[in-house]
Structure formats: structure tokens, C-alpha cells
A = this chain, B = another copy of it.
Amino acid sequence: MTVNREIHLAARPQGWPTADTFRLVTTEVPTPGPGQLLVRNQFMSVDPYMRGRMNDAKSYIPPFALDAPLDGAAVGEVVAGEAAGFTPGDTVVHGLGWREYALVDARRAEKVDPSLAPASAYLGVLGMPGLTAYAGLLDVAALRPGERVFVSAAAGAVGSLVGQIAKLRGAAHVVGSAGSAAKVERLRALGFDAAFDYHDGPVHESLKAAAPDGIDVYFDNVGGDHLEAAISALRLHGRVAVCGMIAQYNDTEPPAGPRNLALVIGKRLTLRGFLVNDHSHLREQFVQEAAGWLRDDKLSYDETIVDGIEQAPEAFLGLLRGDNLGKMLVRL
């Protein structure tokens, strides 16, 4: 018979996760009951927010349980199960990644169209990262045409879309920061007006050179010195959409906050944290608009694909290190 392999949380990491954090476990492929679908996962997502769920801390989603499979977004093919609206062969997105076979409550599965875009795209450009970029930029930061935008982790799944959507929506100047020369080159190819490698010098200096007239919107994926530099660069009535602070997810001591936060007063700045789940009312509008941009070759997206469930922990660590260009995925 066919076996299923899945990744369990073996230990809660202190600081950076290690090999001891994860355990590869072999189980039997489950049998779907009424209203359940058995899904052969094709791709699973690794996302920065998963690091927070490895801590035993109260947050907006419960922590991962010890000695149980991790979870997260995945896309795959329905191979068995009976539920209204689904037939074997359907491609579905659901929340039970980190395993080869998932037993999914049909009410938690979303059928997607693999003829419109490859299945993997529903974990990236057309999925949660895409909506995160769209909602953060347009809803949270309320970007207006003619404004100047800065985004960090700009070569990542969310950041690369933030920059492109900003240009498509009329931003006058879009700056991205990333962690290597190759990524910076890629950002320029994607249409960013300026880009810099944050290893090349103090972020505030690089940002000043890349955005000499300042910025109106900062889409924050990293926190730390990027946020501090952005606060200094923001113009009157500027906005920060705080999406993530990956620079500190593995810190064991709480990091110092921006030393220039008092600037929010005189410049009347707004910093707003957000979660994509609060913006699902934009999903339909977003998918329509993004699918149109993809069809018209106005929007590009990158994927970094790692093969095999046994490589998922390493893919996750690589994501935290910034090894990926665009969306980091594991092909199962």
C-alpha cells in the first residue's frame, strides 16, 4: 500500500530552528469519511509566519502542537472522497501542508482552475502572498497614484508583487531592498525604479540614495533597521503597512525598536499592522485583477522550488535565511 510522509514538530526551537526541530514521520494514507477529501499534495508552502507558530506563545493563530504534523497552505489533486462540488482530479488549495497526503474537510478546500495558472501559482501570486501584497498596498497603506513606495524583502513572494502592483497602480517611484546582487538585478528587471542590497551599507544611506525625494508608503516585511530607515525617509502623512518583521523572528531577546519613532508626530505618520485574513473581502477583486495582469504579461512572479517532503525543513530554513527568489515552495 501507499504510505504518507509528513513533518512533525519535534521540539520548539530557541532561536533558529535546527534539524532537531523537525521529524519526518511515515504513516498510512488515511481513508476519507463523509464530507472529506483525500488530497495528494503537489506543492506545499513555507512561509515566514510559521516560525512564530513554533513558539508556545499566544498569538493570532494557535501554536503548532509538539509531535504532530505542521500545517500550512498546500495545493494538490483530489484522489478520493465524496463531497458536493468536488470530484477526483480536481485541484484544490487547503491548509494541510507539510504532508504528502492530506485528509481535508471539503468545507476547507477551495477548488482552483489549473488551466488559468499552474497549481503552484495558487500558493503564490494568486494566493495568500498575492492578496497580502495587494491588500497591504492598496487597503492598508492606501497607495495613491503618483506616490513613492519602498518595500523590503522585495525579491520575496510578497515583496516582488508589492513593487509590481505599485507600478501598475501608478506609483511614481518604487524602491526595493533585497539580500543579494542577483536579487537586486531581478528587481530592476521586474520594473522597480531602484533597488539595493541591504548588505552594501547602512539601510538609511542606501534608501536615501535610492529614494532621494523620500517615500510615501513603506511596505514592511522585515522590521529592524529597515523600518527605522523608512520612518526617516517617509514624507508628511506617510503610511507604513506592517506585514512582517522577519529580521527578528529568530531573536531570543526582544530587539530594540526604531529610535526615531517620535518622527511619527511631526510627519503625521501612520503605522498599521495587518493580517491578510482581515482583507478577504478583496480576494475576488484581487484574483480578477491579478489574473488579467498575468494574462497580459504585466505581472511576473518567481518561484524557488525544493523537491521532496524530506527537504521541507531545509526549504523553511532557506526561506528564513533569504535563499529564495520569489515564492519558496516544496514539490511533493
Q: Chain A: residues with CB nearer than 8 A to chain B?
A: 52, 59-60, 223, 227-228, 242-245, 248, 254-275, 278
Contacts and interface: CB of A to CB of B under 8 A. Distances in A.
B272 A278 contact: no
Nearest to A231: B257
Interface of A is mostly: loop
Contacts of A248: 262
A265 B244 contact: yes
A259 B256 contact: yes
Given A266-B273, A268-B275, 6 more contacts: A227-B261, A243-B265, A244-B265, A263-B273, A264-B272, A270-B272
Number of copies: 2
B278 A273 contact: no
Contact of A254 (B227, B260, B266): B260
A266 B60 contact: yes
B275 A266 contact: yes
A45 to B, nearest CB: 18
A104 B60 CA distance: 56
B60 A261 contact: no
A267 B266 CA distance: 25
Nearest to A223: B262
Contacts of A243: 265
A242 B227 CA distance: 17
Contact of A262 (B245, B261, B262): B245
Contacts of A242: 264-265
A274 B265 CA distance: 5
Given A265-B274, A275-B268, A256 B254 contact: no
A74 to B, nearest CB: 23
11 contacts: A223-B261, A227-B261, A256-B257, A257-B259, A258-B261, A264-B273, A265-B274, A268-B273, A268-B278, A269-B273, A270-B272
